[in-house]
Amino acid sequence: MDKERLAPGLGRLAFFRDADAATLARAEAASRVVRVAAGELVLDFDCPSTEVRVVLRGGPLRVLMRSSGGREKIVAEVGPGAFVGELAAFAGPAVSPSAGIHALHRAVIAVMPGDAFVELILASPPLGRRLIALLAERVRSQNRRLLEYAVLPTRQRLCAELLRLARPRPPEAGGGLAISPPPARPELASRIGARREAVSRELADLVRLGRLRVGPRAIVLLDEAAIRADVEAAMEAAKRLA
């Protein structure tokens, strides 16, 4: 992990626009920039850090939780302009087990002391409102995922995750939605709390039904409407049984 002086520029990131100028200058002066390699461990599990890590370029950074049995679950991924560690900055380090952070690709990140981040947020009302909105959206997303884990079968959990990961394809590529590069089976299993074998089986069934095309470069959602309807139908059925 290579360290260097922090180049000015946090204010150019969307989240930090309209920050109090003097407080932002102090936060930058207290921060450091690090360059991380693909696959590098950015923060080890159970490390009592209160620093906020802002992705300046590259990434994303992947946040993982590890169970007592050693299984890892993907919690979030943050790309350029986003950050991790804001909860620890305000509330202190999480009790064990806490999250670990890996860089999926090369990245340049600013590491800001937690007290500097808190001071910046409190001194900048626009940033405070953005942070509240961001945390609220995370809670909504996590609640949705918890509900999926609790009530949906493996196939519908997989379909819901594929819909979250998919991005529009350009018209010249055929349009629709795709995930490129395609995540490996163990990664998908980690995302939805399932076994790799179950994910492979469900992907094969979805291909057979004509809803997906799985290739070395992309997973293409051939029938987004049917995939989405299947998830919503399963969710409504679970609510009726509750």
Tens digits of per-residue pLDDT, 155-180? 999 999 999 999 998 888 778 899 99
Residue 2 has pLDDT above 60, yes or no: no
- List all residues 6 or more positions away from 170 whose beta carbon is below 8 Å from its beta carbon: none
- Pick the closest to residue 100 from 33, 139, 149, 48 (CA basis): 48
> Mean pLDDT highest for which of 56-65, 78-87, 115-124?
115-124
In 3-state terms, what secondary structure has residue 78? strand
Residue 26 has pLDDT above 80, yes or no: yes
As a whole number of angstroms, the distance between CA 127 and CA 60 comes to 22
Higher pLDDT, 100 or 3: 100
DSSP string, 190-212: HHHT--HHHHHHHHHHHHHTTSE
Residue-level pLDDT at 239: 76
What token pair was written down for 56?
């300046």
Residue-level pLDDT at 7: 52
Residue 4 has pLDDT above 60, yes or no: no
**What is the Cα 223 distance to its own chain's centre?**
25
* Average pLDDT value for residue range 24-38: 93
As a whole number of angstroms, the distance between CA 166 and CA 132 comes to 26
Residue-level pLDDT at 68: 65
Residue 74 has pLDDT above 90, yes or no: no
* Average pLDDT value for residue range 212-223: 94
* Average pLDDT value for residue range 43-61: 89
pTM reported for the whole predicted model = 0.80
Asked if residues 176 and 221 have their Cβ atoms less than 8 Å apart, the reply is yes
User: If pLDDT is split at 50, 70 and 90, which confidence band does 229 have?
Assistant: very high
**What are the pLDDT digits (tens) for 81-114?**
999 999 999 998 876 666 789 999 999 999 999 9
What token pair was written down for 125?
């009302």
Over the chain, what is the mean pLDDT?
89
* Average pLDDT value for residue range 112-126: 96
* Average pLDDT value for residue range 183-201: 92
Residue 182 has pLDDT above 70, yes or no: yes
